[in-house]
Amino acid sequence: MAGGTVTRFAPSPTGLLHLGHAYSALVAAEAGHMLLRIEDIDGDRCKPEFEAAIYDDLRWLGLDWPEPVMRQSDRLGIYANALDHLAGLGVTYPCSCTRGDIKAALSAPQEGAPIHGPDGLVYPGTCRGRRMASIQPGDVIRLDAERAFDLLGDNMLNFRDNGPHVLNRDAFLRGIGDVVLARKGMGTSYHLSVVVDDAAQAITLVTRGLDLFDSTWIHVLLQRLLDLQTPEYLHHRLIRDEAGKRLAKRDDARSLRELRGQGASPADIRTLVGL
Ligand code: GLU
């Protein structure tokens, strides 16, 4: 373990852990002192039985972590404060667009081919410029990325992941854009919560799958706006099935539960994920 390195494993209890989660947790535990965080802001999809299964499966794998475990559902007030701070900076706006509205706006003749960012279609900016005071029930809150860069007075974002990575303002605006910071009925989002919590847990090395690499630019921008330190990152390879498809929670056949039931040992799991 690297001295002084603090890592985290941050599963969402929306299903059983599969081999991809096992790999992610083992990478976090090998890279540093691993903290556990339960990312359960999505009250509709998160289930207590999946949270219980996370603890059980990780212990079975031989992992250990300090208590108490951070649970995002306990921290909604903290995310609300962070959102208020961003609103105070003038870099947020409410948005009532449905997915259909966004698609329709992007199919207008003057728009080029729609671009997919880390969160789906890059938002065309229909509600940009709306004042926070105009918020209506059911609105989401978006980041005004252009204003955010204006405020930073810097056109470059950077982080380290086995060396330096850089993204400029134009690439962010074109390829990522005005992402949602507070989802409907949640008051926060994955992006906002993860940034606030990685800082609160003093994580020095964020280990997670390569599928989240592009989201890291959103996190770096939010860290800059919230005056939080940017940790180092390690985006690891993804575990795929025989067809080369990334494993998902619905692939129950690859759940640790199922493999355990078939007699697999923790050592077998390491072998299966190539460790
Ligand atoms: N909760 C996220 C997931 O289960 C992980 C987020 C992260 O590691 O930043 O995919």
Q: Which domains does the chain have, with CATH numbers?
A: 1-74+240-275 (3.40.50.620), 76-200 (3.40.50.620)
pTM across the whole model? 0.95
Q: Does the Cβ of 11 fall within 6 Å of ligand 1? A: yes
Atom of ligand 1 at shortest distance to CA of 198?
A: 9
pLDDT value of position 149: 98
Q: Does the Cβ of 198 fall within 6 Å of ligand 1? A: no
pLDDT value of position 3: 67
CA of 182 to the centre of ligand 1 (A): 17
pLDDT in tens, the chain (275 residues): 456 999 999 999 999 999 999 999 999 999 999 999 999 999 999 999 999 999 999 999 999 999 999 999 999 999 999 999 999 999 999 999 999 999 999 998 887 888 999 999 999 999 999 999 999 999 999 999 999 999 999 999 999 999 999 999 999 999 999 999 999 989 999 999 999 999 999 999 999 999 999 999 999 999 999 999 999 999 999 998 777 777 766 666 689 999 999 999 999 999 999 99
CA of 129 to the centre of ligand 1 (A): 31
Would you list the DSSP string of the chain? --TT-EEEE---SSS--BHHHHHHHHHHHHHSEEEEEE----TTT--HHHHHHHHHHHHHHT---PSSPEEGGG-HHHHHHHHHHHHHTT-EEEE---HHHHHHHHTSTTS-S--EETTEEPP--TTTT--GGG--TT-EEEE-HHHHHHHHT--EEEEESSSEEEEEHHHHHHHT-S-EEE-TTTSS-HHHHHHHHHHHTT-SEEEEEGGGTTHHHHHHHHHHHTT----EEEEEPPPB-TTSPBP-TT-GGGBHHHHHHTT--HHHHHHHTT-
CA of 191 to the centre of ligand 1 (A): 10
